[in-house]
Amino acid sequence: MQLEELKLITASNIINLRTRAGLTQAELGAKLNYSDKTISKWERAEAIPDAFVLKQMGEIFGVTVDNLLSSHDEWKPIPTEEPETVEVSYSTNRIIAITVIGVWTLALTAFVALWLADLILWQVFVVALPVSILVYMILICCFHRKRYLQYVIAAFVLSLFVTAYLLCYPRYNPWQVFLIAIPAEIIVFLSCNLKTRQKRRNSGHSTIRREKENNG
């Protein structure tokens, strides 16, 4: 074996053993009373440690000197523990509840602030009703919770008429606005169920088409 080949083998062994031990070049140099530059020179195969240093390395890494000077085709890497990934999940129901309560909290804050200014304005709660329903409707769409969306839309439309009525009452009594609410609610339910009916109609056409193909 030539000297250059021996340097390469030793350099490879030092790199592998040091890496497996989790030591830096500076830490290994401190154990051997050498600088990290010297360790780097050994690992670049520019020089080879003497017998005494090789013996010290063998004691540090738990191998023999012959092991440091021998060629190893395969090295088994030290299994490293993968960091545990913590999945953080949030409750959509709580997010929706906090947001809706937040709307009413803002309304209550405005009411108290006006009350302290000797102005009792209960209409802020009336306005908070459609606003809170609108916020709820937006959130369930964002979280893909559209199972009862048509009922929420219907409640929002109705709340607009209730708000309009209460803001005018008792100075005016515009009960006639609720006559408009009836066809408005019907339009909401028909619009929400329009897509479902279209699917059923398409499925019926596909069934007739299949029967024609089978008969043909």
pLDDT per residue rounded down to tens, the chain (216 residues) = 577 888 888 888 889 888 888 889 898 888 888 888 988 898 888 888 888 888 988 898 888 888 888 876 544 444 444 555 555 556 888 888 999 999 999 999 999 999 999 898 888 998 999 999 999 999 888 888 778 888 889 899 899 988 888 888 777 888 888 888 888 888 888 888 776 544 445 545 555 555 555 554
Nearest Cα neighbor of 4 from 62, 48, 68, 51 is 48
- The CB-based long-range contact list for 175-182 (8 Å cut-off, 24+ gap) reads 181/157
> Are 139 and 49 members of one domain?
no
> Are 50 and 106 members of one domain?
no
Q: Does 80 reside within a domain?
A: no
Helix (H) or strand (E) holding 128: helix 123-142
Q: 0.75 cut: is pTM over it?
A: no
Q: Determine the structural domain holding residue 178 and report its residue range.
A: 92-209
CB within 8 A of 105, min separation 6: which ones? none
The SS3 assignment for 87 reads coil
Q: Does 74 reside within a domain?
A: no
> Are 105 and 203 members of one domain?
yes
> Are 36 and 104 members of one domain?
no
Q: Does 87 reside within a domain?
A: no
Q: Does 53 reside within a domain?
A: yes
